[in-house]
Amino acid sequence: MTASIRITEAGRAAVTDLGRHRGPGVGLPVNGALDQYSARAANILVANAEGAPLIEALAFDIAFVPSHDVLIAVTGADMLVTVDGVERPMWEPVPVEAGQEVRLGDMLGGMRTYIAVRGGFDVPELLGSCAPDPAIGFGTTLAVGDSIGLHARTGVPVNPYFGISLFNFGVDRPYFGDTACIDVTDGPDIDEFAGTAGLLFEAPYRVSTRSNQVGLRLSGVLPTRVGSGEMISRGVPVGAIEVPPGGELLVLHRGRGVTAGYPVLGVVTSTSLDTLGQVRPETEVSFRRVSLERAARDARVWRERLDRLRDRVGTVFSCLGVTPAGMERAES
């Protein structure tokens, strides 16, 4: 019998991965986990490839029951995690026995929680990625009663001490608070905003409820475009900051349409995009202008943390005789 999990409470969740990187070349957004650090960490903690399919749960409670003994890890937004009613830690591998119910609830901070299961989910892919694309109706969203298959049944490290964490890997956990500081590099069209571009960095903005995986809308004092000609459509990066008509600032995220006809004032750094994947409506966001070198350095620090975590997990799992298959940095 193939291993699977059965969904007993669905909330708003879907199976995703790090994104459809071949999509933009054919007109599809990249999509994928909005908080890439947390998604990668979840997979690393269960010795999956970083790009393995995992669950992204948005803000609401979710619960499931595995058909076999499995190893899971929960990362991202802070939630109360229980296994058959017993509280278990986030950001650590947690063994779950067949038939036990894993329940996530009471999200305290952040917006998106990630659940990786050792082996990864066996779900349909499009252009090498399972990431949902609501625009074209593709993806595996979860509903009560669904069974989601797992790739190979794999060994689960046994924890001989009931109720005690299997391991404590000491993952660097991001902080999800009521305010966020977002780093931005200059966009290619910053001159279109002449002297008003600096307004972006002067006072905080407030995240609107009309924000989603396509982009975040924020209210505040807006830079204004000086040029008035119709801009020709061009490819637009994830993280692009635009000021379209309508009185709000728009920050594009991973679900963005790949082309747009608005000037790009700035581009949010990759590490800050993860933060934006976790901000709630009404959060106060301040923007900070940084250099490309600074952005690349921060991304490197982020990468090194994940690499160290993968090394630690690999060592421990090998000692326990669990083959850390798929521990390579798989890219979709």
Partner 1 sequence: MRSPIRIQETGESAIRVIGSSGDREADWRVVHKIARAVTTPGIEGVHSAIPTYDAVLIEVDPERTTLAAIHAIVQAVAGEIDPDEPLTQQPREFVVPVVYGGEHGEDLADVARLTGLSEEEVIAAHLAPTYVIRCLGAPGGSPMLDGPTLPVPVPRLTSPRTHVPQGAVSLAGRQATITPTAAPGGWSLIGRTPLSVLDLSEETLVPYAPGDILRFERIDERRFAELAGRRLTAMETAP
Q: Using CB under 8 A as the criterion, which residues of the chain lie in contact with partner 1 when the complex forms? A: 21-30, 126-127, 135-138, 185-188, 230, 232-237, 239-240, 257-259, 261, 264, 267-270, 292, 295-296, 299, 303, 329, 331
Comparing CB distances to partner 1, the nearer of 43 and 270 is 270
The smaller minimum CB distance to partner 1, of residues 12 and 329, is found at: 329
Tracing tokens 């969203």 back to the chain, one arrives at 141
In the bound state with partner 1, the residue whose beta carbon lies nearer, of 116 and 290, is 290
How far apart are alpha carbons 39 and 17 in whole angstroms?
A: 8
Q: Shortest approach of partner 1 to residue 134 CB, angstroms?
A: 9
> Cβ 237 to partner 1, closest distance in Å?
4
Minimum CB separation of residue 168 from partner 1 in Å reads 27
Choice between 33 and 117, CB closer to partner 1: 33
Segments in the chain forming alpha helices (H): 36-45, 270-276, 292-319
> Which CB atom, from 162 or from 209, has the smaller least distance to partner 1?
209
Say if strands 284-289 and 179-186 run parallel, antiparallel, or are unpaired: parallel
- Shortest distance (Å) from residue 268 CB to partner 1: 8
Which are the contacts of 117, defined by CB distance < 8 A and separation ≥ 6? 5, 46, 54, 66, 70, 71, 72, 150
At its nearest, how many Å lie between partner 1 and the CB of residue 85? 41
Q: How far is the CB of 131 from partner 1 (least distance, A)?
A: 13
Closer by beta carbon to partner 1, 96 or else 290? 290
Compute CA 95 distance to the chain's CA centroid, rounded to the nearest angstrom: 23
Phi, psi of 35 (to 5 degrees): -115, 90
**CA dihedral for 239, 243, 244, 250, sign (positive or negative):** positive
**Count of beta carbons in the 10 Å neighbourhood of residue 83:** 16
Burial of 2-16, coded b for 16+ CB within 10 Å and e otherwise, reads ebbbbbebbbebbbb
